[in-house]
Every structure is written in structure tokens, then in C-alpha cells.
Chains A and B, each alone.
Chain A
Amino acid sequence: MAEVNPTLTPDIDEVAGPLLRIETVTKRFGGFTAVDALSLDIKAGEFFALLGPSGCGKTTLLRMLAGFEAPDEGRILLGGEDIAPMLPHQRPVNMMFQNYALFPHLSVRDNIAFGIKRAGLPRREIMARVAEMLALVRLEGLEKRRPDELSGGQRQRVALARALARRPRVLLLDEPLAALDKKLRENTQRELLELQRRLGLTFIVVTHDQEEAMTLADRIGVMNAGKLEQVATPRHLYEQPASRWVAEFVGDINILEGNVDSRDDHRWTVSVANAGNVVVTAPREATDSATVCVGIRPEKIRLSRRGPADAGAMNRLNGIVASVGYLGGASVYTMSLDNGATLRASLANTARLDVDAYAVGERVVAWFAPDDCIVLGR
């Protein structure tokens, strides 16, 4: 790994406030509201991911940060200064484009040097910076190649080096790994993370791939229909989703709808019409609505033929195995509960031989802890 020039580390002088503050930003295209009064703070040195289905407004938000779109309302503050009226080339922000947008008529070196040359640095300094960037992304020796003579992974690294060369205060990445195949993507994710940690830069990545967002980001903002549904760490997002929509968008989940029968400080009992009674841990922010959704992640459910020996604290639901999906590391069992509901349970395949696996049609007991249940509004 190359030695990093100390000047690459940005000055962290805004320890007090956020580096980037997005204040009630709205963007409309004709009658369609792409981004709807959205507010968000991003700290210096943070790796932030905007996650959402296509059309949710995440790319529009990113393009407003880069300066390609002007917000209709709201402010974008970078280090306290409103950058919303600035043109893209005036912003200390750079972007790594989806599909990279490498200049096909320029060599790797000229692509990387493109932005630094605009800064009007002396030639020697430009060359030094290019060399530094090439080393940073491990592309030494390829500087004379043209983009179409590079592999997908190499192109991605050129795009990264080109965007970093201007030493932006914030680096924006638009679906940075979408064009790579799965194996390469995993390696590149690791490299990207390592680079961000080493440079201490603020990265904002837009992605529709939740695994990618989880692997990379310190915090994830989940967007839907122009609004942020939830901003949280990956773990928080998965284990404590703020809404049913987030719970269903991030990962797989079983949702049981029912009425709260009884509630005390610790435990609620929810009666679910097609599953029976489910005991859940009382949520921190209690809703007083009578009907709730109970969410249980498939891997939180255990199966057995007879049920746990000590079943006191556990929920038990009886049913038969309706289908088995073998995924290699784990298998997903779909259960038909006696009361009618369907439940998916994901079990790690800890043994190579399948002597202990459950067969389709077999009668099993599903059990899970009240602590593993997520109580959501409807």
C-alpha cells in the first residue's frame, strides 16, 4: 500500500457541528416531488449511505449535493456555508459517477489529472498528485491506458482516483459498485472502506443494494418517496426498524398483525387471528393503538420437532413444513401454521449431512423469544 500524503487528511475543524447539513430540501420535477422537505446531518469523516428503491429520490438528493440540480426549497450547508446556489465546479465536493463517466478520449493519467489541472496547480505538483493517486488506488503502470483498455475493476479505481484527486471535503458515490460482478464487488467494498478510514474523508454513497450499504456505511438513511424513513446504524436499522416499511425493505421479515390483549411494563400479549397469541417485549416508544404488527426476522426463529425443553419464556407456534429453500449456508423453511398464517424460518446448515433436516409435510414447532419480536405500527 502506498504512503499517504498527510495533506490528504481533511482538517476536522467542525467537530462541533455536522460537516454537511441538509435543511428541508425539496425538489420537484413538474408535478412530481422527487425530494420532499428532507433534512439530514452528516458528520465529518462519516461513511453515509442513502438506501432506497429506485425512484425514491436518492439520486436526485445526491445530484443536488453535487450541484447538478438546484433545490426548489431548503438549504445545503457545507461547513456552515450554503452551497445550494453554487455551480458544480465551484463546490469542494466531488462525485464518482455511476458507470464512472471516464473520459474515453483521455488516458488514465489525463483522467485523473483533469480536475487538478483546473485548480491551476504547477505542472510538477499535478504530476506528483497523479502519481500519488495512482499509488492510492494501485494503478501504477496503467497511466497511459485508455478507459476502454481497462477492466471493470480498474475503471472503478480510476473513477475513484479522479474524484479524490481534487481532495474534496465530501466524496459522493453514485452506485459505485453496481457495475462490478459479485466477487469483485466484495473485494472492492473492503478496499473502499479501508481507503475511507485511512483518508478520514466523508463519503456519501447512493445504493439500492442493502448488503452494500450495510457493509460500507456507518449510518444508513433509508429513503422512500422523497422522504427519509429512518436514519440509523446498520444494526439499528435491521433490529429496530422505525416502520413496517423499513422493516420489510431491509432484509426479510415475518409480519403478524394482531390486537394487543394485555400490556404491562415488560410484556405485551398480542393475539394474532391466524397464528395465536404472541408475547412480545414492550417497545420503548409505546403505541396506544390496539392493533399492531409483530415482526420476527426469519433467523430469529428456531424450529424443532418437539419444542424447547424450557418453553416458559418463549413463543411456540405449531404447524407443518410447507416448503424448503436450500441456500447453501442456510435453509429457509416456510411453515404453514395450524391457524393459517405462514412463517419463514432461516436455519444455518451447521451439518453437512441432512439427516436432521426437516422434510416437507413434517410437523414442527417454531419458537422465538419475546425479545426478538419487533412491535411496529401498521
Chain B
Amino acid sequence: MARPLIRLSRFNIASLALGLAFLYLPIVILVIYSFNASQLVTVWGGWSLRWYSEFFNDQAMLSAAAMSLRVAAVSATLATLLGTLAAVALARGERFKGRTLFSGMLYAPLVMPEVITGLSLLLLFVALGAERGFWTVTIAHTTLTMCFVTVIVQSRLSGVDRSLEEAAMDLGCDPVRAFVSVTLPLIAPAIVAGWMLAFTLSLDDLVIASFTTGPGSATLPIRIYSEVRLGVKPEINAICSLIVGSIAILIVAASLATKLSSARGQNAAPM
């Protein structure tokens, strides 16, 4: 079909290509350098897995990575639970007392500078006399990431035709049952995506973790940051490449999963 008015111009193609190149080239370069055999980051010394093995022998880095993964897994799960509940309340709760405050609290952390969130949480933990470490970081990350989960799940939820829930009730389900057997399967892809986003955001966070963690429980970004401040190190390239690689695998797997489920009939509103 010829639609001359919305045809891509050369300018469109160029801006798209340049934009994507800008977004991806630095990461690609980073990954390539991670296989560099040379001690000097900038001199190409041939392909090698040396820096990867260096990382796997670096106990401090490994324990930081383990800490990060644990925090990410627990906080993402908590955030998904809380965020989904919040999304349900916002999308199906109509107007309720304190709704404005509720939605404000859920949307503000999305843009709130991390230094503020981190500092304020730390002061709370200190005031409560909580011992800082795994749980304080996990709670902090849950607070931040559940807001992202809320946004993702809520947008999906508002796309689910409410007459589907009504049909389920008409066919003998009480409201909770109707939600579990009809709505939940339909928003499952968004919940999975929300969990994954929460996981990667937690894995990624430096600022909030720096404030809320205690001595001896550094997360991976905190370790990386302290190394990076001292300059570029090939080992960091390897670690970063590993992170990028695993996130890429996660995303591809997730998008395949959603594609499969959508191929099986995701159309919430049949024509």
C-alpha cells in the first residue's frame, strides 16, 4: 500500500540509524574490549578470556555479585507483589480516600533523584536502629522498583476489557475468583516484565545501595564504582559484559515468552 505522506524520508532513516548506533556502539565496544588480551585497555592484544577468569577468581567481586543477585531476586519478588496490588487498586479501585496521595507516592519515586531516596531511607533505618546490610538494601530497592511494576501492570490492566471480569462473575465467580481466573492470566506478561525490570533495576542501582548498605555488604555496582573511579580496568569490562549478556538473554527469553503467549490469543477485546 502506498502511503506517500507517511513514507520514511532519508532524514528519518538517518536519524533512526544514528540514534540506534549512538545507543549501542559504546556497549558493543565495551564487550569487544572485554575479550582483549592486553593489560592495557586501549591496546588490542588479540582475543582472550583472561579477564573473565580474573573475575571468577576475584573473591571480593564474586561476593558482591552474589549479594547483588540475592538483593535483586528478593526485592524484585517483593516489588512485583506490592506493585501488582497497587496497580489493581489504581486500575479497579475507582475513587477512594487517599487515592491522590497513593498515586503520588507511587509516581514520585520514578523521577525522584536517587540521592534523596537513598539518604531519606538511610535516615529512617538509622532512626529505627536497623542493622544495615542485605535487608535494608532489599527494602530500599523494593520501594523504588515497585513503582515501576505498578506502572507496567497498571497500563496492561487498563487494557483488559472489564466485561471479561463481569462475564466470569456472571458464570459463578466471586470478584476475587474472577480476578484470579481471568484477569491474572491476561496481565501475566506484564507481571513477568515488571519482575524483570525490578530485577535489573536493583542489579543496576549504585546510589541507593551506597546509602543503605552497611560495612561488609557491598553490592556489585558499589564494587564496580570504586574500581572505575580509579580508572578503566579490563576486568571491569568483563564483568560489565557478563551483566549486559545476561540481561540480553533475559530480555530475549521474556519477549519470546510473551510472543508465544500472545500468539495464543492475547486479544483482550475481540472485534
| A157 within 8 Å of B (CB atoms) | no
Write the nearest CB–CB distance from B249 to chain A, whole angstroms. 26
B128 at the interface (CB under 8 A from A): no
Residue of B167, B168, B182, B271 most packed against chain A (CB within 10 A): B167
Residues in A whose Cβ lies below 8 Å from that of B186: 104-105
CB 8 Å contact bits of B163-183 with A (1 = contact, 0 = none): 110111111111001100110
Please report the C-alpha to C-alpha distance between residue A346 and residue B166 in the assembled complex, in whole angstroms. Answer: 45
CB distance from B187 to the nearest CB of A (A): 10
Structural contact, B264 and A146, CB atoms closer than 8 A? yes
Q: With the chains together, A66 CA to B168 CA distance in Å?
A: 12
Q: Mark A119-159, 1 if CB is under 8 A from B, else 0.
A: 10000000000000000000000000011110010010000
Number of interface residues of B (CB under 8 A): 27
- Chain A window 76-120, contacts with chain B (Cβ cutoff 8 Å), 1 for yes, 0 for no: 000000000001110001110111111111000000001100110
Chain A interface, number of residues (Cβ within 8 angstroms): 32
List A167-212 residues whose CB lies under 8 Å from chain B. 179
Instruction: Give the one of B171, B177, B268 with max A CB within 10 A.
Output: B171
Bound-state Cα–Cα, A166 to B267, Å: 26
The verdict on B269 contacting chain A, using a C-beta distance below 8 Å, is: yes
> Contact check: which of A104, A118, A148 meets B171 at CB < 8 Å?
A118
Q: Is B54's beta carbon under 8 Å from chain A?
A: no
- A148, B270: Cβ atoms under 8 Å? yes
A162 at the interface (CB under 8 A from B): yes
* A68 touches B (CB below 8 Å): yes
Least CB distance, A29 to chain B, in whole angstroms: 13
Q: Would A146 and B171 be within 8 Å (CB), given that A98-B163, A99-B270, A103-B164 are in contact? A: no
Partner of B270, one of A89, A100, A114, A115: A100
Given contacts A89-B172, A94-B171, A119-B172, contact A101 B265 (CB under 8 A): no
Contact B270 A104 (CB under 8 A): yes
Q: For A88, A97, A98, A179, which residue has the most chain B Cβ atoms within 10 angstroms?
A: A88
Contact (Cβ within 8 A) B170 A88? yes
Q: CB of B185 within 8 A of chain A?
A: yes
Q: What residues of A have a CB within 8 angstroms of the CB of B181 in the complex? A: 114
Distance in angstroms from A74 CB to nearest chain B CB is 21
Contact A147 to B265, CB < 8 A, known contacts A101-B166, A105-B185: yes
Seed contacts A67-B169, A118-B171; 13 additional CB < 8 Å A-B pairs:
A89-B173, A89-B174, A89-B177, A95-B167, A99-B161, A101-B167, A102-B270, A103-B182, A104-B270, A115-B170, A163-B170, A163-B171, A166-B171
Chain A interface residues (CB < 8 Å from chain B): 66-68, 87-89, 93-95, 97-105, 114-115, 118-119, 146-149, 152, 155, 162-163, 166, 179
Interface CB pairs A-B, < 8 A, 13 = A94-B170, A97-B167, A103-B168, A105-B182, A115-B170, A115-B171, A115-B172, A119-B172, A147-B265, A149-B265, A162-B171, A163-B171, A166-B172
Q: Please give me the 7 A-B residue pairs with the lowest Cβ-Cβ distance, nearest first.
A: A118-B172, A115-B171, A146-B265, A101-B167, A101-B163, A88-B169, A104-B265
